[in-house]
Homo-oligomer: A and B are copies of this chain.
Amino acid sequence: MADRKQPRYNQKKRAALEAAAAVFAEHGYHGASTTAIAERLGIKQGSLYYYFKSKQQALEEVCAYGIEDYVSRIDGIAAMALPFAVRLLAVFQSHLSAFRERRDAMKVYNDERLYLPESARTELHARGSGYRKTLEALFARAVEKGELRADLDSHFAALTVIGIGNAWGDLIVRDDTLDTTVLAQQCADLILRGVVQAVA
């Protein structure tokens, strides 16, 4: 049916993905109707099934789309040989700007992925927890190097940082006036001074 080599198809497929993301983000997965998604795309409800096998598959793709670059960017950060403070700032910057650029899909990934069946969720979970583990390792290595206090729980710290990013991400989605750069700085600052050993 769908020839992947046609640029025309890929273009509209992505538009379909973003339409689905927008409607899922606004009404939630179950509250979103295929009619609403199709309308946003400018086609009729039935035509939507040319792009998605089912509503559920649309959710899967939106979720995957929502985290793909968010997740991939942290590997770059982890690869850089920079002081922890700079890396942490980059983590927040990356996290928050991901919410700006793919706000709908990120929100959907965070809020709606739990409605996917086990099978689909585990694949997503793998990537998500890959992110967490990388971040955790980032903390752990900084502790080893003496950049951070020795009694820091890396697991706790990583989860909290992700939690803060998601919490502000949620607010960013609903408030366009928030400046992600400033916010990232504030977040990093708050965590850092709670994490860096106090100077005696």
Main secondary structure of the interface of A (DSSP, over half): helix
- Complex Cα spacing A30 to B28, Å: 8
Residue interface mask A52-94, B partner, CB < 8 A = 1: 0000000000000000000000000000000000000000000
In angstroms, how far is the closest chain B Cβ from the Cβ of A131?
Answer: 15
Cβ 8 A contact of A199, one of B164, B167, B195, B198: B198
A191 at interface by CB-CB < 8 Å: yes
A160 at interface by CB-CB < 8 Å: yes
A162 at interface by CB-CB < 8 Å: yes
User: Which one of A9-17, A36-44, A151-159 contacts B?
Assistant: A151-159
Residue interface mask A151-178, B partner, CB < 8 A = 1: 0010011011011101110010000000
Residues of B within 8 A of A163 (CB): 163-164, 166-168
Residues of B within 8 A of A189 (CB): 194
- Complex Cα spacing A195 to B194, Å: 7
Subset of 7 A-B contacts with CB under 8 Å: A28-B30, A159-B171, A163-B163, A190-B191, A190-B194, A194-B194, A198-B198
Interface, chain A (partner B; CB < 8 A)? 27-31, 111, 115, 153, 156-157, 159-160, 162-164, 166-168, 171, 183, 186-187, 189-195, 198-200
Shortest beta-carbon contacts, A-B, top 6:
A163-B167, A194-B194, A30-B31, A30-B30, A193-B194, A190-B194
